[in-house]
Structure 1
Amino acid sequence: MPLPTSSLIISTYNWPEALELCLLSVARQKIQPSEVIIADDGSGEKTRKVIERFENTLTVPLIHVWHDDRGFRKTEILNKAIKQSSAAYIIQIDGDVILHPYFIKDHLQISERNAFVRGTRARLTKQMTEETLASKKTDFTALSRGVYHRLNAIRIPVFKALGIRKEMRSRSVRGSNLAFWKSDFVLVNGYNSDLQGWGHEDEELAARFINNRIIKKIVKLSAVQYHLHHEESSRDLESLHSITLENTVKNTIKSCANGYSCN
C-alpha cells in the first residue's frame, strides 16, 4: 500500500533558535513530507528570517502561516495552517522538538484509516538544551548525555508493532507528536478556537475524534522526538479548558462550533 501524502505542521511562537533546530532535523528526514507548514502564533522578525532561510534549503515547499500576536491562540493558528495544507495526512509537532531522521517515515508507515496517532517524546535537560542551541546539534539517541525519559527515545523498527496499542480515550494527547487524516480533522471541525490559552486543546480534539469512532493509536519504539527544555506557559485557563474537555467527553460531542470552518 503506497504511503499517503503528508503535511508536517509545526507550531511556533517567538523561539527562533529552537525552530531552527527543528527545521534542521526536518531537513535530515529520510523521507520528506510533501510540504512543511509553520503555524506561527504571532512571532516577530527573527522567526520570519529563520523561515526564509529554510525556504531556500528544504527540498519541499515551506509555507509560513502567521497571525498577529494577541495572546495564546494556538488553536486558531493550527486551524489556519491545516486549512492551507494540500496533503491527505497531517503530522503535527511543536517547534521546540528535534526529530529522529526516521520520524516522518515512521508516522507514514503506522498511518491507518479510522485512527489517529499519539506519539511520545524524550526530553533534554536544561543544560543539554543550552548546549544544543549553541552547537546546533540534532543527532541524539536514547543513550545520549542529557536525555531523559529515555524509553521514549528508543527506536526498534523490527519490534515497532509491540510499541503500538489502541484505546478509545483522549487522555495524554499532546500536539507535539500527533498525526491524523485531514478528512477526519475537517469532520470534527478542527481545533476548538474557544480554547484560548494553554491546556487540553489537543485532548479535546482527540475526544471528538473518539466520539466519531476514530480510534487512538499510542505509539512507542518509533516516531521519536526530543523536546527542548523551557519554562512552562501560564496555566491560568487550564481549569476552564478542563471543563470544556469534560463536557465534550460526557456529552459525546462530535464537532465544535467555533473551529476549522470559522478560521
Structure 2
Amino acid sequence: MSPRPERTSVVITTYNWPGALRLALSALSRQVVLPHEVVVADDGSGEETHALIRQVARDYPVPLRHSWIEDRGFRAALARNRAIAATSGDYVLLLDGDMVAHPMFVADHRRAAQRGSFVQGMRVLADANGSERLLAGEKQALGFFDRGLARRRHTLRIPPLAALALRVSRGQSRRGIKTCNQAWWRGDLLAINGFDERFEGWGREDSDLALRAFHAGLQRRSLRFAGLATHLYHFERHEAGESRNERLLTETLQTGRVRSVAGLDRHLAEFAANPLPDLRTAGKS
C-alpha cells in the first residue's frame, strides 16, 4: 500500500464571491484532520475578498496564504499554478471557493491517496434554496434529507463503498473531470508542469491537465461516498461552439503532450525565494 501523504495542502480558487469563500474556508478549518496549509488561488478579486481573507486568518487553525493575480478575465489555470507553486505539502487538494467540504474531506482524500494516480472527487449540488440557507448561516451543511439538494446520493459518506469505488475505478476516462474536487501528488503536478496557462476563458483547462496526466502514465481514481463537498448554486457559463481552448485540448490529444507549454515551472523560483506569508502572523511584530 502506498504511504499516506505527510503534508496536505489545499488550493482553493476564488473570484469575487466572499460569502461563498467564507463558508469554504470555515469548513476547512473544521476538518477532523486539518490540512498542512490552505492557499487561496485568487483570480483577481477585489478588496472585499482581500478583507475577508485577512479577517478569517486571525484565528485560522493552519497557515492561510493568499495568491492573487490581476483581474484580466477568467484565468483559472494561471491562478491555480501560482497557488500550487506556493504550496509546501507533498499532496495537493484542489477545491473551488464555492465548495463546502465535509468535516472528513481531508481525511478521506489522504486515505485515498495512492502513487501513480490522481483522485477525482464528486459534488453535492445545492440548488438556489439550499445555497441561500447555507450562505445565510441557517445550516453548516445539508444532509440527505434536507431540502435544497440535487444529486442527493453524494451526501452519503460510506467508507467501505468508497474503498470499493477506488479499487474498481482506476482508468483514464475524462468523463466528469472537474478540478473543483481533485487530489494530486505535488510531484506529479510538477512532472506534467501543472495547468497550461494558454487556457483562458471558460473551460477545458481541467480536461487538459487530466489528459496530460494520462499521457504520463497516471491513472484516474474516482472517490465516491467519501471526500464529500457541497457545491453552492450559481449560474454556470458554458461556451458553445469551437473555441481556442477546444483547439488546445485537441492539440494535446493529438500530440500526446505530457508537460504544459506554459505552466507551473514559471512560478517555482518566485515562491522559493519569497514564500507567500502566513496571514495569521503577517504584519505582527
CA contact (8 A) 1:191 1:260 kept: yes
Q: Which residue identity lines up with residue 131 of structure 1 in the other structure?
A: R
Q: Is the 8 A contact 2:4 2:114 kept in 1?
A: no
Deviations, residues 162-218 of structure 1 (Å, cap 9, x unaligned): 222111133321110011011111111110000001111111001011100010001
Q: Identity over aligned residues, as a percent? A: 34
Contact (CA 8 Å) 2:134, 2:141: kept in 1 or not? Answer: no
Counterpart of 1:160 in structure 2 is 162
Who is 1:261 aligned against?
Answer: 265
Deviates more, 1:73-82 or 1:136-145: 136-145
Q: Judging changes above 3 Å, is the alpha-carbon distance between structure 1 residues 239 and 27 closer, same or farther for their aligned structure 2 residues?
A: same
Q: Give yes or no for the alignment of 1:213 onto 2:255.
A: no
2:139 paired residue number: 137
Alignment-derived partner of residue 196 in structure 2: 192
Match of 2:256 in 1: 252
Rounded to whole Å, the distance in 2 between the matches of 1:89 and 1:252 is 25
Residue aligned with 1:216, SS: strand
How far, CA to CA, are the matches of 1:95 and 1:68 in structure 2? Answer: 18
Change (3 A) 1:111 1:2: closer
Aligned to 1:80: 82
| Deviations 1:96-124 (CA, angstroms, capped at 9, x unpaired) | 01111000000000000110011110111
Normalised by the size of structure 1, how large is the TM-score? 0.95
How far residue 34 of structure 1 moved from its aligned partner, in angstroms, is 0.2
Deviates more, 1:200-209 or 1:124-133: 124-133
Shift of 1:223: 0.4
Using the TM superposition, give the Cα deviation of residue 246 of structure 1 relative to its aligned residue in structure 2, in angstroms: 2.2
Partner of 2:116: 114
For 2:177, the equivalent position in structure 1 comes to 173
Gapped runs of 5+ residues in structure 1?
none
The ranges of structure 1 where at least 4 consecutive aligned residues each deviate by more than 6 angstroms after the TM superposition are none
What TM-score comes out, normalization by structure 2 length? 0.88
Q: Return the alpha-carbon distance in structure 2 between the equivalents of residues 46 and 256 of structure 1.
A: 33
**Count of residues in correspondence between the two structures:** 263
Q: 1:152 to 1:175 in 2, by over 3 A?
A: same
Q: CA RMSD in A?
A: 1.5
Query: Which shifted more, 151-160 or 75-84?
Result: 151-160
Q: Deviations over 1:53-108 (max 9, x none)?
A: 22122211000000111111111111100101000000000000111100000000
Rounded to whole Å, the distance in 1 between the matches of 2:242 and 2:236 is 13
Which residue among 222, 225, 228 is the counterpart of 2:232?
Answer: 228
Pairing 1:50-61 to 2, within 5 Å after superposition: 50-61=52-63
> What is the CA distance between 1:159 and its match in structure 2?
2.5
Match of 1:201 in 2: 205
